[in-house]
Chain A
Amino acid sequence: MFLKEYITDVVTGVTSLLKGMRKTGYYFTHPKEIITEQYPDNRATLLLSDRFKGEVVMPHDANNEHTCTGCTACELACPNGTIKVVTKFETSPEGKKKKAIDTLVYRLELCTMCNLCIVACPSDAIKMAPNFEHSVFDRTKLTKVLNQPGSKIREGIE
């Protein structure tokens, strides 16, 4: 009698355990269906939405040219004083003076990703990029210059 009870206990115990483990085993053999993302390991395959607001960047083309005219519309639209446009006057070969940007300073630590500067920009010079890993060891590294060194405005942009 004792042996029969003992064996029944073992069998029911094992079956209930297996029942509970069935879902775990299913996901163990079907790794593609797991919802959990193994975040730091999946950086290469991590897909964020193309509209994700991570930081402001200024796209440059192959000739190191951008489309920023230095109109300071983004600086006026920003609620936090994140963007500072420093302009200079360039003299063209014909002797004409033309306003251009010297540096476009972007302070990431003040930015709230509200997208108002992107909407305000008349020449689509800046856009939001889906980069979100912004941690650095020094606060000064968060102050960025968006235009690349030696870059100039694309021909035909007023």
Chain B
Amino acid sequence: MYNQTEIIKDTSELGADGELVINMGPQHPATHGVLHLVVTLNGETIKKIEPHLGYIHRSIEKMCESLTYRQFIYVTSRMDYLSSHINNLGCALLIEKGMQIEVPDRAKYIRVILSELTRIASHELWLGAMAMDLGAFTPFFYAFREREMITDIMEDTCGARLTMNYIVPGGLMYDLHPDFQKKVKAFITQFKSKVTEYEDLVTNNIIFQSRTKGVGILSAEDAISYGCTGPVARASGVSCDIRKIYPYEVYDKVEFDEVLETAGDSFARYMVRVKEMNQSIRIIEQLIDNIPEGDFVGKTKNVLKLPKGEFYTRVETARGEFGVYIVSEGGTTPHRIKFRSPGFSNLSVLNHIAVGGMIGDLMASMGTLDLVIPDIDR
């Protein structure tokens, strides 16, 4: 326990050499959650950033070890809540791989369509929130208008708007809603006509460009050495799309481009995500009319037991590579489970890219990393 004099002594020591230590968060509107950054400043120039984690730690990995293979999938929705469907998919893929469960084609197609819808919804929310961090308020409402259509589709089909839990080992929990295809097509038309509004409002905005271009530059070597994945690494020119390198489900049957930029600054990260939304629309358009008829869930045993051994699968979430690693002893629950979350690696690069810049630029650097704090803390 500190007493009063020790606290004063502490701060005076940290404040040596004209440096100022400020606490950004845990209750700060731009951190989008309970992220606590201890920022050391010299004037307005950032000297050091130290993220403090653990405010929303729920020991999800340990919790999953006490649940059976059917039960633990729903917990992963609570990690990266913006791409919860893809998290569930990663866990289900591991169980199917370990037990050699056949998944019907219909389930595979629906899983991919919903994954891409989740990706668009996640990027839409990021775009609105990021533009709001930089002082533009209107894009938030524009982005949420389209995102609302996706959450409506999710509500109709999965029964929930954010934590869907629609995937079970072997397929899906129940069949598609009859209106699903009609609603998705309506969304695609709406999205295509409105995506130009983002270009006019945000991309071509001179204030937005001057606040993001050349800010928070991350080189390709650093992106690899820090373990960055997803749009953060692709903006630096690192090809790391799991959907291309290790295709799962039906990603090898559809045509889409891996979006790569070379600049590595905040604007490149922005452009990667905006272009990725268009690629996701392209994937959905190829699949939506070709959903095969048949069962939506394959035959599984009543009690699932993974064989003894170690298993790892990876999927591409909206933020990067999400990995599930399970050590099984042959029982009904996992012996040890570990999640490789993309947010943690992407956060670790923040000190590297923001040091030397202004504190105002920290918003742009942090916003384009697309941090989801429950994903980092778990």
Query: Which residues of A approach B to under 8 Å, CB–CB?
Result: 35, 48-49, 51-53, 77, 79, 112-116, 119, 128
Evaluate contact between A115 and B70: CB separation under 8 angstroms.
no
Q: Is B369 an interface residue (CB 8 A)?
A: no
- B156–A49 touching, CB < 8 Å: yes
Query: Are B157 and A119 interface neighbours, CB within 8 A?
Result: no
- B168 touching A114 by the CB < 8 A rule? no
The answer to whether B196 has its CB under 8 Å from any CB of chain A is no
Assess A77 versus B173: contact at CB under 8 Å? Given A53-B160, A128-B159.
no
Q: Are B157's CB and A51's CB within 8 A?
A: yes
Give Cα A77 to B303, complex, Å: 11
A113–B71 alpha-carbon span in the complex (Å): 12
Contact status A79-B74, CB under 8 Å: yes
* CB-defined contacts of B67 to chain A, threshold 8 Å: 79
Q: Is B158 an interface residue (CB 8 A)?
A: yes
Q: 10 A–B contact pairs at CB < 8 A?
A: A49-B156, A51-B156, A51-B157, A52-B155, A113-B160, A113-B165, A114-B74, A115-B159, A116-B71, A128-B159
Asked whether any CB of chain A lies closer than 8 Å to the CB of B185, the reply is no
Please judge, given known A-B contacts A115-B159, A115-B165, A119-B168, whether A51 and B70 are in contact too, CB under 8 Å.
no
> Judging by beta carbons under 8 Å apart, are A116 and B70 in contact?
yes
Q: 3 shortest A-B CB distances, which residue pairs? A: A79-B71, A114-B74, A51-B159
Q: Would you give the shortest CB distance from A43 to chain B, in whole angstroms?
A: 18
The answer to the question of B28 belonging to the interface, with a C-beta cut-off of 8 Å to chain A, is: no
Q: Which of B306-331 contact A (CB under 8 A)?
A: none
Q: Which of B152-174 contact A (CB under 8 A)?
A: 152, 155-160, 163, 165, 168, 173-174
* In contact, A115 and B173 (Cβ under 8 angstroms): yes
- Distance in angstroms from B66 CB to nearest chain A CB is 9
Any A CB within 8 A of the CB of B263: no
